[in-house]
Amino acid sequence: MSLAVGKYKAGDRVRVRTDDRPGHVRTPYYVRGKNGWVERVYGEFLNPESLGHGGDGLPQRPLYLVGFHQNEVWGEYRPLGRDKLFVDIFEHWLDPA
């Protein structure tokens, strides 16, 4: 996996956008609006939002492994502790936090 020339690097704190766009998206509902951090920079990949509708997926977009504390994603998560949740999220869904 090559490093992308993207906006974020490992360790950066990010917030997932709450975009409500129609069409095929791969950012799950449950992380939208949540704060996390960049765990890994995965490189650039074809955009599924374009591929899903017959597009060519270009331009490629930077993709990140984004980590979240479970206690911050779900109000009722137990135990209170170190459990984490990781999601592969495209740069255009992330803002600096």
Partner 1 sequence: MPRGHHDLGGTPAGPIDRTEHQLDDWEILADAVNQALGAKGIRRTDELRRAREQMDSGLYRALSYYERWIASLETILIEKKILTKEEIDRKVTALEAKWGEP
Partner 2 sequence: MSADHGAGAEAVESKHERPKHELSAHAKRVYAIRDLLLEKGVLTKNDIQEQVEYMEARTPANGARLVARAWVDAGFKKRLLADPKAACAEMGIDATSLNEFVVLENTEKVRHLVVCTLCSCYPRPILGRPPDWYKSLNYRARAVNDPRGVMREFGNEVPDDVEIRVHDSTADMRYLVLPLRPKGTEGMSEEELQRLVIRDSLIGVVDPLPAVPKQ
The residue ranges that bind partner 2 (CB under 8 A) are 1, 26-28, 30, 42, 45, 48, 63, 65, 70, 73-74, 77, 79, 81-90
HEC-encoded secondary structure of 10-41: CCCEEEECCCCCCCCCCCCHHHCCCEEEEEEE
Query: What is the C-alpha end-to-end distance of the chain, expressed in Å?
Result: 26
Question: With respect to partner 2, which residue has the nearer C-beta, 17 or 48?
Answer: 48
Residues 37-76 that bind partner 1 (CB under 8 A): 48, 51-54, 57, 74
- Residue 89 binding target from partner 1, partner 2, none, CB below 5 to 8 Å by type: partner 2
Question: With respect to partner 2, which residue has the nearer C-beta, 12 or 39?
Answer: 39
d(CA 20, CA 91): 16
